[in-house]
Structure 1
Amino acid sequence: MTTTRKSKAQSNMQNYSLDSFPCGALVTNSSRVITYVNAYFTTELFWQPEALIGKSTDVIFTKSSKIFFQSYLIPTLLHEKTCEEMQLIIFNAQGRRIPVTVNAHLGDDGCIYWSFFNASKRDQLYNELLKTRETLEEQAEELKLFASTDELTELLNRREMKYRSILVLEQAARSHQSVGLLMLDIDYFKKVNDNFGHLEGDRVLKELGQKLKAFCRQTDLVARFGGEEFLIMLPDTDKVNVLLFCERLHQLIADITVDNKPLTVSIGASICDDKISFTDFYAQADNAVYKAKKLGRNRTEVYEAD
Structure 2
Amino acid sequence: MKSIKTENKRASYSADCFLSGALITDSKNTIIYVNSYFEEHLYWKSDELVGQNINKILTKSSRIFFQSYLIPTLLHEKTSEEMQLIIFNGQGIKIPMTINAQINEEGKVFWSLYNSSKQDQLYDELIKTREKLEEQAEELKSLASTDELTNLLNRREMNYRSTLLLEQSLRSKQSVALLVIDIDNFKLINDTFGHLEGDRVLKELGQALKSFGRQTDLISRYGGEEFLIMLPDTDKKGALLFCNRLHAIIADILVDNKPVTVSIGMTISNTINTFIDLFTQADNAVYQAKSLGKNRTQLFGDDNTI
TM norm. shorter chain > 0.5: yes
Counterpart residue type for residue 84 of structure 1 = E
What is residue 125 of structure 1 aligned with on the other side?
122
Query: Residue deviations 1:202-242, cap 9 Å, x none?
Result: 11111110111111111111100011100001111111111
What is residue 4 of structure 2 aligned with on the other side?
none
RMSD (Å) for aligned C-alpha atoms: 1.8
Distance in 2 (alpha carbons) for counterparts of 1:100 and 1:192: 69
Counterpart of 1:149 (choices 146, 149, 155) is 146
Distance in 2 (alpha carbons) for counterparts of 1:14 and 1:97: 29
Distance in 1 (alpha carbons) for counterparts of 2:201 and 2:36: 76
| 1:256 equivalenced with 2:253 (yes/no) | yes
Counterpart residue type for residue 215 of structure 1 = F
Counterpart residue type for residue 58 of structure 2 = F
Alpha carbons of 1:111 and 1:241: their partners in 2 closer, same or farther (altered >3 Å)? same
- 2:12·2:35 contact (CA, 8 Å) conserved in 1? no
Counterpart of 1:164 (choices 153, 161, 164) is 161
Distance in 1 (alpha carbons) for counterparts of 2:263 and 2:97: 70
Distance in 1 (alpha carbons) for counterparts of 2:211 and 2:129: 35
Alpha carbons of 1:154 and 1:242: their partners in 2 closer, same or farther (altered >3 Å)? same
Distance in 1 (alpha carbons) for counterparts of 2:155 and 2:285: 19
- 2:176·2:232 contact (CA, 8 Å) conserved in 1? yes
Equivalence map 1:1-306=2 (5 Å): 16-304=13-301
Q: What TM-score do the two structures reach when normalised by structure 1?
A: 0.92
- 1:170·1:275 contact (CA, 8 Å) conserved in 2? no
Distance in 2 (alpha carbons) for counterparts of 1:279 and 1:295: 24
Q: What TM-score do the two structures reach when normalised by structure 2?
A: 0.92
Secondary structure of the residue aligned to 1:274 is coil
Deviation of residue 93 (structure 1)?
Answer: 2.1
In structure 1, the gaps of 5 or more residues are 1-9
Deviation of residue 243 (structure 1)?
Answer: 0.8
Alpha carbons of 1:14 and 1:207: their partners in 2 closer, same or farther (altered >3 Å)? closer
What is residue 6 of structure 1 aligned with on the other side?
none
Q: Between the two proteins, what is the percent identity of the paired residues?
A: 65
Q: How many aligned positions are there?
A: 295
In structure 2, the gaps of 5 or more residues are 1-6
Distance in 1 (alpha carbons) for counterparts of 2:12 and 2:164: 76
